[in-house]
Structure 1
Amino acid sequence: MTHRLVLVINGGSSSIKLALRKQGSSKPVFEAQAERLNTPQASYSFPGGSECSLPDANHQDALNALLPLLDAHLDQPISAVGHRVVHGGEQFTGPRLINDEVLAGIEANAPLAPLHNPANLSGIRAAMKLLPDIPQVAVFDTAFHQSMPPHAFRYALPDELYAVHGVRRYGFHGTSHQYVAHQASLLTGRAETAGAWLSAHLGNGCSSCAILDGKSMDTSMGLTPLEGLVMGTRSGDVDPNLHAHLARTLGWDLPRIERLLNRESGLLGLSGLSNDMRELEQARAQGHGGAQLAIEVFCYRLARSLAGLAVALPRVDGLIFTGGIGENSALTRALTLSHLAVMGLHVDPDRNSALKRGEAGRIEATGSPAILVIPTDEERQIAEESLTLLDRQHLEMETPA
């Protein structure tokens, strides 16, 4: 059977990334991205090519420039276009073929992800206009977490806020957590979705998740991607009354407080130096106190979250590190695990430090539950989910009523 091609599009607020994926392959056929859209500095780039200027380009302009680059890599027609959509609310519990109803649903959830959903919509609409004859599929970051039970996703707030306004915990990074849990099952000799896993997706955005037999049971992010772990520039959990305290004592308005919590906090705020873990590790080695504190808080809060999420599982078969920091920072893994000895999790220092960048591997000490480092591949997950949806719909059309 021919391995089909899927174009995966990830539209950000000022960027758009695309990856051409072949079914079953672990590597992209081609990838490219455009950045700083809607500014005079807009540009696009791809591996092996120089950066090209696209002054004031919007998402459609960027796709107009990027799509012709695919031609040299096509050995067959594209079967589907898979779009990452950050927030699907309760309406979308799995991938959906995009139509007017789905577009309206994505737009209706925009207040829950005001920086993300409108950008995702821009990419979708541009792709639909430029590739009108190819099926377009939306894959939602929140969908994987729709298996959480009410006792995990409800806030202790009046019922009307949930029933009428949808105020609940949704969770994010679903495609990443789903992908690495599947890989963890395979790497440890289990059936495809079997296992009770704790997963830590650590990048500029960070979240943890408890996964049982391929289903999310709980996760650290909530209504928005601000809840939970310390991140690059996001605070993660703070006292809910901090907003009122800052308003009363400093006279700050809501936009100023939101900027503080989303853009000026996390590793950047604690260190006073950078949101990049690589820079902080270098500064820590040179005696920078702020970098030392930021890394220690980051790892402690991560360990505390993972330990708390364990109560959502009947057992812990292992812990997964993924994302840019999780995959590449041996120090972060070691410090985090130093707080988790109470759970019987112990790292092998030599295996941890010897693991090469971009490689999957096991780093647990003898007698410890599995500790795995697994590079995430959200684009592959989106491609596979898109094709699975198309196959299922095709089968339903062929099956007599």
Structure 2
Amino acid sequence: MTQQKLQSKDSVNTDAILVINCGSSSIKFCLIKPATGETLLSGLAECLLSPEAKITIKRDGEKQSYKLPDAFDHQTALSVLVEQLQQLNLVKDISAIGHRVVHGGEHYSQPTLITTEVEQSISQLAKLAPLHNPAHLIGIKACQEAFENLPQVAVFDTAFHQSIPEKAYIYGLPYSLYKDHAIRRYGFHGTSHYFVAKQAAKQLKKPLAQCNLISAHLGNGCSVTVIKNGESVDTSMGMTPGEGVMMGTRCGDIDAGIIFHLVDNLGYSIADVNKLLNKESGLLGVSGLSNDCRTLENAMLEDNHVQATLALTVFCYRIAKSIASYSASLTQLDGLIFTGGIGENSSWIRAEIVKQLGLLNFSLDEEKNQATRFGASGNIATKSSRACLVIATNEEWVIAEQSAQLLTNLAK
């Protein structure tokens, strides 16, 4: 398939932004209007670098899948995407490519126009995110080839958390490890926490800068963030996404001595430990069944599966404990936010977490809780409770919005 390239614009146009989230063997993409959040097209290229590689494109509620031709790589997938955009007459609307980049370290607290220097920084930060940043660079370089005349913008997952104070990001390690090697808490899911905080402010009818919130992003990866006067002041994930609450396949917080015990006494290699903590633990490890919350809920409720029940109980307790601990960061609290695939859709998980937060004056309206699923948003708290908001996250919209704003500011 012949590679197609987009033409440059005569003036700054922010009609639509193509948002790219590149993984080592996948590309998620979304063509979105930054002003309204309207999605014109979305999809996924998956199983890249293998003969099973395919790309699925969704538009107007309909999906079409295309098997990728030989090469099966990111560039091939983008070539197919460009061709489809041209056939759908959407090329003229694209003003820029917005890239999700997981780790920006201490360098980046704002969306950034990608230059050679920025690429080098992302590469250097790969030591802090070895599974993510190298994949993002693959996507950036592939997009530069496919969309050579369009500006490329990086939006960093860590950026929202750059407001965290030193007392929250410094570990109890020799300070030289921070100064010389940048070992500190960075936090992740920042784009999601920022989006839902803005939406919560609208629901609470207060300026974001006056809102004090605790946001729980619950999916296969989970993080809890405390937001004071509209800014992140602490978050559960740390230098890597492995710290914090228990997740789908990650263990979250554990005694570091366990690692030495596994290596010294049980014969694990460091690679074995890394795989265990990140891919074989969490809901999957405790249940011995699945990392999918839906599967575990069904097993618990329908089959009385003991380990599924234990996994979900531990999961909810760890999250409730994390939420409660963040009361130390606030002098007042406007509400709690649930977001992410689990947070938005599992009424059972929400109820189990909130019933452990009575000391913070949270209680759920059972009927509202059961009704608020599958993209629905709203306050599911009782009248006597602090606000408990379910908000569907939209990280792609944030990336599109921030990319467009950057371009507008640069054009002034």
TM over 0.5: yes
Q: What is the alpha-carbon distance in structure 2 between the residues aligned to residue 391 and residue 26 of structure 1?
A: 17
2:170 maps to a residue whose letter is: R
Of 151, 157, 170, which residue of structure 2 is paired with 1:135? 151
TM-superposed CA distance for 1:51, in Å, is 2.6
Q: What is the alpha-carbon distance in structure 1 between the residues aligned to residue 81 and residue 147 of structure 2?
A: 13
For residues 224-273 of structure 1, what are the alpha-carbon distances to aligned partners after superposition, in whole Å with 9 as ceiling and x for unaligned?
Answer: 00000111100001111111010111111100000000000000001100
Whether the aligned pair in 1 keeps the contact of 2:212 and 2:227 (CA below 8 Å) is yes
2:395 maps to a residue whose letter is: E
Matched residue, 1:51 = 65
1:166 maps to a residue whose letter is: A
Whether the aligned pair in 1 keeps the contact of 2:14 and 2:404 (CA below 8 Å) is no
2:30 maps to a residue whose letter is: A
TM-superposed CA distance for 1:213, in Å, is 2.5
Q: What is the alpha-carbon distance in structure 2 between the residues aligned to residue 165 and residue 255 of structure 1?
A: 22
TM-score scaled by structure 1? 0.96
1:208 maps to a residue whose letter is: V
**Residue 38 of structure 2 corresponds to residue 24 of structure 1:** no
TM-superposed CA distance for 1:2, in Å, is 7.9
**Residue 120 of structure 2 corresponds to residue 120 of structure 1:** no
**Residue 26 of structure 2 corresponds to residue 9 of structure 1:** no
Whether the aligned pair in 2 keeps the contact of 1:217 and 1:313 (CA below 8 Å) is no
Whether the aligned pair in 2 keeps the contact of 1:208 and 1:306 (CA below 8 Å) is yes
Q: Segments of 4+ in structure 1 off by > 4 A? A: none
TM-superposed CA distance for 1:194, in Å, is 3.1
**Residue 122 of structure 2 corresponds to residue 111 of structure 1:** no
TM-superposed CA distance for 1:66, in Å, is 1.4
Structure 2 gaps, min length 5: 1-11
TM-superposed CA distance for 1:341, in Å, is 0.4
Matched residue, 1:217 = 233
TM-superposed CA distance for 1:67, in Å, is 1.9
TM-score scaled by structure 2? 0.93
Q: Give the alignment's Cα RMSD to 1 decimal.
A: 1.4
SS at match of 1:162: helix
Whether the aligned pair in 1 keeps the contact of 2:105 and 2:186 (CA below 8 Å) is yes
**How many pairs align?**
395
Q: What is the alpha-carbon distance in structure 1 between the residues aligned to residue 257 and residue 85 of structure 2?
A: 50
Q: What is the alpha-carbon distance in structure 2 between the residues aligned to residue 15 and residue 2 of structure 1?
A: 28
Structure 1 gaps, min length 5: 396-401
TM-superposed CA distance for 1:3, in Å, is 6.0
SS at match of 2:350: helix
Moved more, 2-11 or 147-156: 2-11
SS at match of 2:210: coil
Q: What is the alpha-carbon distance in structure 2 between the residues aligned to residue 133 and residue 3 of structure 1?
A: 15
For residues 42-93 of structure 1, what are the alpha-carbon distances to aligned partners after superposition, in whole Å with 9 as ceiling and x for unaligned?
Answer: 1111222343222551111111111222231527431111000000001111
TM-superposed CA distance for 1:355, in Å, is 1.6
TM-superposed CA distance for 1:349, in Å, is 1.0
SS at match of 1:164: helix
Matched residue, 1:238 = 254
Of 280, 287, 295, which residue of structure 2 is paired with 1:279? 295
Whether the aligned pair in 2 keeps the contact of 1:181 and 1:193 (CA below 8 Å) is no
Q: What is the alpha-carbon distance in structure 2 between the residues aligned to residue 50 and residue 81 of structure 1?
A: 22
Moved more, 233-242 or 325-334: 233-242
Q: What is the alpha-carbon distance in structure 1 between the residues aligned to residue 40 and residue 55 of structure 2?
A: 18
